[in-house]
Amino acid sequence: MRSKALDAITLTIAIIGAVNRGLIGFFDFDLVAFLFGTMSWFSRIVYALVGLSGLYLLTFYLYLTDRPVIEHR
């Protein structure tokens, strides 16, 4: 059974990580490093949580085909 709260939290963390990566790619600006310091222990925790969230979100692929198929008659 899936937890909607866990899904929402991990999706939010992954979106934050994606936005941060976009900022790095477009503007060479690392928001996490700006807020918490370059590779401080807290920024490392943030990066680790983003990575773990991404790995957890891989399980969403398992649920893409669990939808009932609607038959057209």
Q: What is the pLDDT of residues 14-46, one digit of tens each?
A: 999 999 999 999 999 999 999 999 989 999 999
Residue-range domain boundaries for the chain: 4-63
Instruction: Determine the pLDDT at residue 57.
Output: 93
Q: What is the pLDDT of residue 2?
A: 76
pTM for the full predicted model: 0.78
d(CA 42, CA 12): 18
* Residue 49 structure tokens: 């949580």
Distance, in Å, from the CA atom of 67 to the CA atom of 54, rounded to the nearest integer, reads 23
- Cβ partners under 8 Å of residue 9, min gap 6: 53
